[in-house]
Amino acid sequence: MIAIDGPSGSGKSTTAREVARRLGLSYLDTGAMYRAVAVAFLDAGVSPDDTDAVIAATTGADIDISLDPDEPWVRVNGRDVTAEIREPRTARHVSAVATIPECRADLVRRQRTLMDADPRGCVAEGRDITTVVYPDADLRLLLTATPEARLRRRAGDLGDKVTEEQLRDQVLRRDRDDSKLVDFQIAADGVRLLDTSDMTLPEVVDAITTLAEEALS
């Protein structure tokens, strides 16, 4: 198992997916699960300020997620939300799920189940994979980058879908909100820190693949 954490725009999703491809492992985007729940409670007309209703929407949601790095998809309550979870509306409300302890506990349980059930082994990425979801992973990494680098990368991903204000909200405000519950800015004991600010994607993937091959050998 390989666990990768990091703030928004640190490159963890793209990197984790490519590492999984190279090593023939599964890939779990845990952030997609939080986003799927956000879609579920928005579909149900639930206010993000109604904590009890958000918890009910989370624990009652039927979430299916692909573990194939080449064919990503997410379904919630039987509906394909693969594209919708990346929309600005979803991004604005995902912290309503991520900052509620009961919601995190429910999704952590689901994530552990998915990782334990996959015979190939898994590269999982998110906020608390190295410390909460899978602290016994063979390799644990925290990817970081400067705020400027993270904003630049996320802007490259989203293009003209968001304004500058929305971009800063997705990256910086979400990190600030999520860090109230999970400390993903500082590497815990046994977690390797990798600053990707000045690294290209191939360089990051090469570095992690080398570490993974050593850890899994």
Of 2-6, 58-62, 183-187, the one with minimum mean pLDDT is 183-187
Confidence label for 11 from pLDDT (cuts 50, 70 and 90): confident
- The whole-number pLDDT of residue 163 equals 76
Q: Per-residue pLDDT for 102 more than 80?
A: yes
Q: Per-residue pLDDT for 95 more than 90?
A: no
Quote the pTM value: 0.85
**Do residues 76 and 82 touch, judged by C-beta distance below 8 A?**
no
Q: Domains of the chain: which residue ranges? A: 2-212
State the average pLDDT over residues 33-51. Answer: 92
Mean pLDDT of the chain: 88
Tokens 């793209």 sit at which residue? 14
Q: Per-residue pLDDT for 69 more than 70?
A: yes
The CATH architecture assigned to 2-212 reads 3-Layer(aba) Sandwich (3.40)
Confidence label for 206 from pLDDT (cuts 50, 70 and 90): very high
Q: What is the pLDDT of residues 144-158, one digit of tens each?
A: 888 888 888 777 666
Of 6-10, 109-113, 137-141, the one with minimum mean pLDDT is 6-10
Q: Per-residue pLDDT for 181 more than 70?
A: no
- The whole-number pLDDT of residue 187 equals 79
